[in-house]
Amino acid sequence: MIEERLNKVLKIMENSSVPQMIVSDPAAIYYLTGKWILSGERMLALYISLKGDNKLFINELFPVKEDLGVKKIWFNDTQSPVEILAKYVIKDKPMGIDKNWPAHFLIKLMELNGGSKFVNGSEILDRVRMCKDEVEKDLMRIASALNDKAVDKMIKLIPKKYPEKKMGKLLGDIWEDMGAQGHSFDPIIGYGANAADPHHEIDESTVKEGDSVVIDIGCKMNSYCSDMTRTVFYKTVSDHSREVYNIVKEANKRGIEKVKAGVRFCDIDAAARDYITEKGYGKYFTHRLGHSIGIEVHDFGDVSASNTDKVQIGQIFSIEPGIYIPGDVGVRIEDLVIVTQDGCEVLNHYTKDLIIVK
């Protein structure tokens, strides 16, 4: 187990009066052990407790030879894994359950009186994972540097007028050539009217003169995710589209400048959103300003009007304002930031100057 991370989780468990917890999410198990185990429908459970008798319950189909610093309890397909797990829990104490444990396992443990009560332990791990340690920050820098290079390659492909789907396939090749583990999410490549759909699914559309081109991509590298968006224009840009672009660029700048430990997430959202609204385009900014990111492209937490939590040093999240005018133009500019002592470090360095691709 990665002791520093485990100890942070145990401290919050103690403060929350949760003496024991079952962690089943593969990403959370990776965070605590450094090992990815994808068990499909079979039970995978990391049991952690304040008493220190931590155990990993795992099917024999998934041999883990490494010493993960936790005792492994093996079972096979002919056994009931929950009955085995129930032998080790503290039955007269509350049990925390993380968010992704299938109901049929949970209900079985409840029937076996596997705790005095069952509580949602999701936020315990989620909130620890929100603040990245130095190792994680370096891994995020590496993944983001690859993203900068990939965006440059994608922009240079636009004059070839490949359909969006072909561009998506070529991006997969780019990640492979770079040694990445593939996409961190389904890429968004939108030409023209498609650029005005914030979550456009790539299709067979091709680029036309005057189109805005939204490129929202990310890779997974060393199990950490990158995510960034740049918007460029093909051959020409109208005065109206240029105005929209510059407003989004300024909103991105204002959002980033607002980031500082102790500031509320909702106030960061407002710094960008209020500017777009002031310029008359508020109704066309239709999503939150950003999301947390790390092992998963959408980690727990976001930058939105409803999030009154205060920013903490070490958190990593996106700043991605956009304006989407149906049938006209779409622009989004996105960077990832790490919260530092004095503000933030921007992880993406690809230019945000307006580019007209010839």
Give 189-211 as a DSSP string.
EEEGGGGGSTTPPP-S----TT-
Question: What pLDDT score was predicted for residue 125?
Answer: 96
Residue 48, beta-bridge partner list: 21
- CA-to-CA dists, residue 9 to 21, 34, 35, 140, 316, angstroms: 10, 15, 18, 22, 19
pTM: 0.96
Show the domains of the chain with their CATH numbers: 3-129 (3.40.350.10), 131-357 (3.90.230.10)
- Distance between CA atoms of 228 and 10, rounded to whole angstroms? 34
| pLDDT reading at 99 higher than 90 | no
Residue 34 has pLDDT above 90, yes or no: yes
Structure confidence by residue, pLDDT tens digits, 149-190? 999 999 999 999 999 999 999 999 999 999 999 999 999 999
- The mean of the pLDDT values for the chain is 97
Name the helix (H) or strand (E) containing 127. helix 122-130
| Banded pLDDT at 84 (limits 50, 70, 90) | very high
User: Is pLDDT at 100 greater than 90 in this prediction?
Assistant: no
pLDDT band at 61 (very low <50, low <70, confident <90, very high): very high
For the stretch 189-211, pLDDT in tens is 999 999 999 999 999 999 999 99
Quickly count: other Cβ atoms within 10 Å of residue 155's Cβ: 16
Q: What's the average model confidence in pLDDT over 324-339?
A: 97
- The pLDDT score that the predictor gives to residue 340 is 97
Separation CA 181–CA 200 (nearest Å): 23
The reported pLDDT for the residue numbered 300 is: 96
Cβ neighbours, 10 Å, residue 120: 11
pLDDT at 282: 98
Query: pLDDT digits over 252-308, tens only?
Result: 999 999 999 999 999 999 999 999 999 999 999 999 999 999 999 999 999 999 999
pLDDT higher than 90, residue 14? yes
